[in-house]
Structure 1
């Protein structure tokens, strides 16, 4: 079979609609020439308008200027791909130097990563709750047994454990220590809070986080994700009423929100994330070290959570775990990271061969009887290893490129050169330059190989990692309510 070369700069997403052409007796595709007036041009998230679609010119600009550079995981969808897409689709008001730099910090990436894991399980729990609601209602309603209630309690504890991971990463940000000090709302000398600026900064991050999780979850259950995200970071007092939001009963809320949720007056109310860290069970304490220390113990549940957290998104298929679209081949998705079903059909996935959980339905494994009691009898041993994650910092040039996003789009629309494979080949043939020196070619080659093999010197690439790991124990042990509750 002949392999056809695909131009990476060619548009893959076509915005328009199909209609029937009676004269030619066939289907005809009509492209949206004026997307400003298209009905589904924008999607509103917490009052901010994000682009839902893009025309072919905007797509070419995005693929040429703002795609993630090639690396060892360039063939799979990773979190950086989703983040760059959301940054490209977000409103103009978000494009500040400080916010772009904040979104590329290591702590923020870990918070978004834990949110994706949490919502993967949370959406399954909501589906389980809605199914049980239908089974218990009506004349043919089923009778619940004690084993059913025990299973529900176990599911609720599992969801609270994922929420603890989110809370841990969230508290590392709002404490304003280390690299997060420049984004803290209190000025270091005058000790005055920049309340208004911090309010809008937090609102912008929350809207972007909703968009990232929504796109990662195959763009499904948008209102459920928006409602739960606002509840986690704001508390229930500040979640706006929306007709599309679900209404849960008291029993369902207890199942979904956990045993640590407590409602107070809105003046002293803390976010549910902070409440999760105030009452941590003794058997759940090793969860606070997931991603920092290698767990040693007999608790299988914590070992599974650690494996699910530390495995990169591009390699999740090796442990048969699904986190939305993370780790899926890019050839199955268009520029907007929407699944291309015709491309999926050619791979012949089935229930027996489905490494990316595209054919298989989301499911939850039924826990064993007395699972919670068995976990209390597990043992935890002294740790031997610390986990180091190599991360690359965004450069000043890249931040400025994002800040000037609208200027760059306007430049290319007014006549800037959008290169494709033909123009690039013509430019290389017409060039008379001898190219870089041999020593530079060799240096670039070894730098690329070290990146692919993840052989990065942490002391040079991530200078703050060693300091962060050495001070992490003292920070986690002293986590209290944040100085400012969002």
Structure 2
């Protein structure tokens, strides 16, 4: 997997083969590397036919790296610590995911998409949702056990209704950014499947490759951000959210039947009331159903992270901070988003928590292999977050208050300052992806000549 790192002669320096330009959004010079990319007008749909089977095959990230591989990562790809009180950034988690990813899905297009402000908000919204989802799943599993000796009251229904509303609002945050991505909005216009001008025929196979690769990266990043816990539970839910339960490939392979095993109250809370059962041709993903669902919504949620609002209640302010606040301010503001914002000194190179006197951590690949066996798939109701001491605190979302009296005189037009991805790290991964893509093209041409 890391055979290309041994070739020091082919290693490209950080500021080679490119030019500097002024970026008005951040008011500073940035280095833009010249990357050979095909134009959307010249790309043929048949160019991606041979890769379709590869991308839909199981994609395994190599997470049990030896000391030599970790040393290469620290030397060439890890972000340099800025100060003694350095914290974990989202970029640090992306770096680990990109380094451990198989070469088949590491392309310049995927690297570019992962290093955009819209994608950053999308990933943060996913981390926030799954942290609260696992927390709620644990609580509901405990409540279902307590029903054997306790009686339900009106207060029980009120608490479950509040948790359901919280999950639906967090899914709405994910859907907001997801719609921007699939519609080619903001800086993602050039990656739209119809091209930047949306006038040519659809490159559906290319779009499927990019979608599956980005989704798999997001799954890995969320799993790493949540302390490498509950991989199967996150994988099943993320495929249900984006593809619906009917097209949930992971569920079809694992055959857990976890939704049928849920108690009615668990389905009421964890799935919400916006799930629509339709025929295959008219099926929408649960994320789009959240946007089209008829329920009381605060329209200001669709502006979080992109538009400056003159007034935000505590609930919206909490969500906006989770989406766009700098990780250095998390602990001061009381924001909990997985391991983001936690001291970097608490974790090793691969972002595993350092525990004094503990044995060496087991590889995640073996953990996933064991957890996907038939014996460990019997119960999906309990999250592994409940085992031992938690790495991070639970999320406490402020209560929802419908401020019907707040009606702005005009719609806010001042845009919020977008978060800027680390340009140095982006150029490093673009260089590696371009080098790997070039090698694959050379090997393909050699095979054709032979």
Superposition pairs for residues 373-392 of structure 1, below 5 Å?
374-375=401-402, 377=404, 379-381=406-408, 386-392=415-421
Distance in 2, matches of 1:301 and 1:145, equals: 27
Q: Which residue of 1 aligns with 2:4?
A: none
Once residues 189 and 204 of structure 1 are traced to their aligned partners in structure 2, the CA distance between those partners, rounded to angstroms, is 22
**Which stretch has the larger CA shift, 212-221 or 316-325?**
316-325
Listed one character per residue, the Cα deviations across residues 171-195 of structure 1 (whole Å, up to 9, x for unaligned) are: 0110013421221112447631212
Partners of 2:190 and 2:139 in 1: how far apart? 42
CA distance in 1, matches of 2:288, 2:431: 34
Alpha-carbon separation, structure 1, partners of 2:277 and 2:325: 36
Structure of greater relative contact order (alpha carbons < 8 Å, 6+ residues apart): 2
CA distance in 2, matches of 1:366, 1:102: 30
Residue in 2 that maps onto 1:131: 142
Pick from 131, 154, 167 the counterpart of residue 175 of structure 2.
Answer: 167
State the match for 1:98 in structure 2.
109
2:20 maps to none
Question: Partners of 1:100 and 1:329 in 2: how far apart?
Answer: 26
Q: Work out the CA distance in 1 between the residues paired with 2:217 and 2:277.
A: 27
Q: 1:306 offset after TM fit, Å?
A: 2.6
Pair 303,49 (structure 1): closer, same or farther in 2 beyond 3 Å: closer
Question: Does the residue aligned with 1:128 lie in a helix, a strand or coil?
Answer: helix
Match of 2:385 in 1: none
My pick for the range that moved more, 62-71 or 268-277, is: 62-71
Q: CA deviation at 1:250?
A: 3.5
Q: Match of 1:48, SS? A: coil
Pair 95,303 (structure 1): closer, same or farther in 2 beyond 3 Å? closer
Task: Calculate the TM-score normalised by the size of structure 2.
Answer: 0.69
Mapped to 1, the partners of 2:312 and 2:106 lie a distance apart of 47
Distance 1:196 1:361, change over 3 A: closer
Deviation at 1:291, TM superposition (A): 1.5
Using structure 1 for the length normalisation, give the TM-score. 0.64
The 2-side partners of 1:189 and 1:76 are apart by: 41
Structure number, greater radius of gyration = 1
Matched residues in 2 for 1:392 and 1:85: separation?
15
Q: Per the alignment, in what secondary structure is the counterpart of residue 179 of structure 2?
A: helix
Q: Does 1:183 align with 2:184?
A: no
What aligned pairs does 1:413-424 form with structure 2 within 5 A after superposition?
Answer: none
Q: 1:51 to 1:203 in 2, by over 3 A?
A: same
**Does residue 1:198 correspond to 2:207, yes or no?**
yes
Shift of 1:332: 0.8
- 1:398 deviates by 4.6
CA offset digits 1:34-63 (Å, max 9, x no partner): xxxxxxxxxx99711110210111111110
Q: CA deviation at 1:254?
A: 2.1
Residues 46 and 207 of structure 1 are in contact (CA less than 8 Å); yes or no, is this contact kept in structure 2? no
The aligned counterpart of 1:48 is 59
Measured in 2, the distance between the counterparts of 1:45 and 1:252 equals: 31
Change (3 A) 1:365 1:84: closer
Cα distance in 1 between the residues matched to 2:327 and 2:57 = 28
Change (3 A) 1:317 1:144: same
Residue 146 of structure 1: aligned partner: 154
Contact 1:297–1:378 (CA under 8 A) maintained in structure 2:
no
Looking at structure 2, the residues matched to 332 and 245 of structure 1 have their Cα atoms a distance apart, in angstroms, of 38
Q: Is the 8 A contact 2:336 2:394 kept in 1?
A: no
Q: CA 1:89–1:291 in structure 2 vs 1: closer, same or farther (change >3 Å)?
A: same
- Partners in 1 of 2:347 and 2:257 — Cα distance? 29
> Structure 2 stretches of 5 or more lacking a match?
1-54, 359-388, 440-450
Instruction: Answer whether contact 2:166 2:397 (CA < 8 A) is retained.
Output: no
1:341 to 349, 355, 374: 355
Shift of residue 401, structure 1, vs aligned partner: 2.5
When residues 168 and 110 of structure 1 are mapped into structure 2, their CA distance, relative to the original with a 3 A threshold, is: same
Measured on the aligned residues, the alpha-carbon RMSD in Å equals 3.1
User: C-alpha separation between the residues in 1 aligned to 2:85 and 2:109?
Assistant: 27
The aligned length equals 345
TM-fit CA distance, 1:263: 1.8
Match of 1:76 in 2: 87
